[in-house]
Amino acid sequence: MGLGVQPVGVVPAVTADTPAGAAPARPESTGGDRVIGHGGPARFLALQWLASPQPYLMLIGYALFLGSWYLSVEVLKLPRFAEMPGLTTVLREWVSTDPTYGLSIHTPIYYQHILVSLRRIAIAFVLATALGVPTGLLLGWSRRFRDYVFPIFEALRPIPILAWVPLAIIMFKGSETPVVFLTTLASFFATALNTMLGVRAIDRTHVLAAECLGASPWQVFRHVVVPAALPYIFTGLEISIGVAWFSLVAAEMVSGQFGLGYVINTSYTTVEYPNIVIGMLTLGVVGYATSAAVRLAGNRLMAWRKRDLALVGGG
Nearest to 69 by CA among 94, 83, 88, 55: 88
The answer to whether residues 182 and 250 touch, using CB atoms and an 8 Å cutoff, is yes
77: how many CB neighbours lie within 10 A of its CB? 11
Give, as ranges, the residues between 114 and 143 that touch another protein (CB under 8 A). none
Site for another protein in 229-268 (CB under 8 A): 230
Binding mask 5-44 for another protein (x = CB under 8 A): ------------------------x-xxxxxx--------
Per CB under 8 A, does 1 bind another protein? no
Cβ(163)–Cβ(105) under 8 Å? no
Question: 113: exposed, middle or buried (C-beta count within 10 Å: 0-12, 13-18, 19+)?
Answer: buried
210 near another protein (CB under 8 A): yes
Provide, rounded to whole angstroms, the least separation between the CB of residue 82 and another protein.
57
Task: Please say whether the beta carbons of 77 and 84 come within 8 A.
Answer: no
Residue 203 interacts with another protein (CB under 8 A): yes or no: yes
The CB-of-224 to another protein minimum distance in angstroms stands at: 7
Q: Are 233 and 136 in contact (CB under 8 A)?
A: yes
In angstroms, the CA 272 to CA 48 distance is: 44
300 binds another protein (CB under 8 A): no
Q: Would you count residue 213 as binding another protein (CB under 8 A)?
A: yes
Contact segment (CB under 8 A) with another protein among 52-60, 109-117, 133-141, 219-227 equals 219-227
For residue 219, state whether it binds another protein (rule: CB under 8 A).
yes
Size of the site for another protein (CB under 8 A): 32
The residue (of 216 and 270) whose beta carbon lies closer to another protein is 216
Selected binder of another protein within 206, 246, 280, 288 (CB under 8 A): 206
For 144, 215, 294, 299, the CA distances from 129, given in Å and listed in that order, are: 22, 27, 12, 17
CB 69 within 8 A of CB 84: no
Please state, in angstroms and rounded to a whole number, the distance separating the CA atoms of residues 255 and 61: 36
Report the b/e string of 226-239 with b at 16+ CB within 10 A.
bbbbbbbbbbbbbb
Q: Which is nearer to another protein, 33 or 98 (CB)?
A: 33
Nearer to another protein, 139 or 220 (CB): 220
How far is CA 49 from each of CA 11, 46, 58, 160, 293, rounded to the nearest angstrom?
Answer: 9, 5, 12, 40, 20
**Closer of 230 and 280 to another protein (Cβ):** 230
Between 47 and 303, name the residue whose CB sits nearer to another protein: 303
Q: Which is nearer to another protein, 109 or 209 (CB)?
A: 209
Nearest distance in Å: CB 43, another protein? 23
92 binds another protein, rule: CB under 8 A = no
Q: In degrees rounded to 5, what are phi and psi of residue 100?
A: -60, -40
Binding positions for another protein, rule: CB under 8 A: 29, 31-36, 203, 205-206, 208-216, 219, 223-224, 227-228, 230, 302-305, 307-308, 311
